[in-house]
Each structure stands twice: as C-alpha cells, then as structure tokens.
Amino acid sequence: MALGRIVQRYSPAMFAGRLRHIIDIVAPTPIQDDTGGTDVRIAQVVFSNLSASIEALSGVEKFAAHEFVSQVSHQVVIRYIGAAQSWQPGVTVQIGQLCVDANGNLQQAQGNGLTGAAAPAWASSGLTPDGSGSLAFNWKNLGPASPNTGVTAGQWVWFQNRAFEIESVLNPDERNKMLMLLCMEINDSRQLNINYPGGLL
C-alpha cells in the first residue's frame, strides 16, 4: 500500500423503501417457567414499535461479521433512536415517550399528559405517577438507561410471531442516521404462540 493512502470501508446507506417490516423492540423481563427456563411467550415491556428491514445473513455476510459468526442469524436495520433526555418539568408527554430519571433509569410514559412542576419520587421498579388531574399519567421503569442509544444488546425484536435476541447494536459511521441490530433468532420462536402485548403495558 502506498504511503499516505487511506482505505475507507464501505458506508451503508439507509433505504427507506426497505423498511417494510413492522417490529416491536422489547425490553425483556424474564420470568422463569417450571423447568427453570425463560418463557418468551409471556408479555414483555414494549420499548418501541417501528418500521425495519429484517434480513437473514448469508454465509458471506456472517464471515464479514467476524466474531458474530456463531451468534448472529439476522440483521435488522432501523432508523436511529437516540438516548433519552432527562426528565423536565412542565413538558407535554405522549404515550411511549422516554426519559431518564434522577437515578439513571429509563422511564417510559404509559399515557399522554403533562409533567409536574417538580420531579416525582421515582420508584425503583414498576410505575411512578406524574402530573396532576386530567393531565396525570404514569411512568414505567425499564431499568438502567444507555448513554448512547435507546436500543441495547439483550433486548428482543418481535416480528410476526418470531423472536430475535439483539446481540449487538451498530451505529454505522457514527452519523446517527441508522442502527444495525445484529440478532440471533430464538431457536423455537417459529413454533411458539407468543402473547404479544399489543401496545404499551
């Protein structure tokens, strides 16, 4: 290679027309069954419902993924989801909106409303009420917040009665335009009758 030559990797592009699959990104709350395993059919906490592109990886693509060869079966491409903002007073909130509480936990609005003048006393788990009167609503604790993006490894993707576990989250070129979720389909998800929550819990 010539001195001073810079080799730049191919930069993936976002094609909106390929985002034809409607998925749920789910924050798992594992509940053990009678045998000590985790039953994925039990309703989880829906983190986000959005359009995506789901692609099964070919042998060449698996090789290109290097260390994910034995762990990744599908690639899910979505629009970028940034880190949640800190809670703010007097802000109009819509159902599903996220914020970070004073304890560093991610909170999800369970209804529409207006935040109060002072921060609520955040519950370490479950629901925390906010606002007052007809503008009152609850926040649901989703656990520790990520400083980079709202989507993290360990969350699940649900699509047409199939479940995929997110192994890694990539932000190509760090341009905050798209996220590539490298996922592993749960082996028996095609045979399970998953109990989708059908909205926020």
H-type alpha helices, the chain: 59-64
Average pLDDT over residues 157-169: 88
Buried b vs exposed e over 68-94: b needs ≥16 C-beta within 10 Å?
A: beeebbbbbbbeebeebeebeeeeebe
pLDDT tier at 153 (50, 70, 90 boundaries)? confident
Residue of 165 and 191 predicted with greater confidence: 165
Element (H, E) at 170: strand 162-170
Average pLDDT over residues 182-188: 80
Provide the pLDDT for residue 36: 66
Residue of 16 and 101 predicted with greater confidence: 101
Average pLDDT over residues 105-116: 93
Provide the pLDDT for residue 39: 64
| pLDDT(110) > 70 | yes
Average pLDDT over residues 155-165: 87
Element (H, E) at 22: strand 21-27
| pLDDT(135) > 80 | yes
Ranking 32-36, 161-165, 190-194 by mean pLDDT, the lowest is: 190-194
Average pLDDT over residues 32-60: 73
| pLDDT(67) > 80 | no
Q: 110 burial class (0-12, 13-18, 19+ CB within 10 angstroms)?
A: buried
Domain boundaries, the chain: 19-82+148-185, 92-144
Provide the pLDDT for residue 63: 47
Provide the pLDDT for residue 187: 66
Average pLDDT over residues 51-55: 92
Provide the pLDDT for residue 2: 52
The CATH number given to 19-82+148-185 is 2.40.10.270
Average pLDDT, the chain: 79
